[in-house]
Homo-oligomer: A and B are copies of this chain.
Amino acid sequence: NAEGDAAAGAGKVALCAACHGMDGKSIASIYPNLAGQWAAYLENSLKAYRAGERSGGMSAMMTPQATNLSDEDIAAYYSQQ
C-alpha cells in the first residue's frame, strides 16, 4: 500500500533525518533529497535495499535501516514534504 500513513511515518524517521534531513532535503550531496519524490519510488527503493538488490554506495548503511523500518510509512511521509 503505497498510500501508507504519513502521520505514523513522521514518528519513524528520526534516523533517516540524520542524513536525509527532517524535511527530506539531505545534508550532503552523497545523500539523495527525498522531499517531493514519488511515494511509490521511495517504497520500491527501500524494498530493493531490504532484498539486497543494491550493493556498493551507501548500501552498508541503508540495508539494515530498510530491514528495520516500515517502508510504506516512510515513503508516505517524505512524499508529502
Contact = CB atoms under 8 A, between A and B. Distances in A.
Contact of A57 (B31, B37, B38, B48): B48
Copies of this chain? 2
A33 B36 contact: yes
A32 B37 contact: yes
B48 A41 contact: no
The majority secondary structure among interface residues of chain A is loop
A29 to B, nearest CB: 4
A56 B54 CA distance: 9
Contact of A30 (B26, B29, B40, B53): B40
A80 interface: no
Interface of A: 2, 26, 29-33, 36-41, 44-45, 48, 51, 53-57, 59
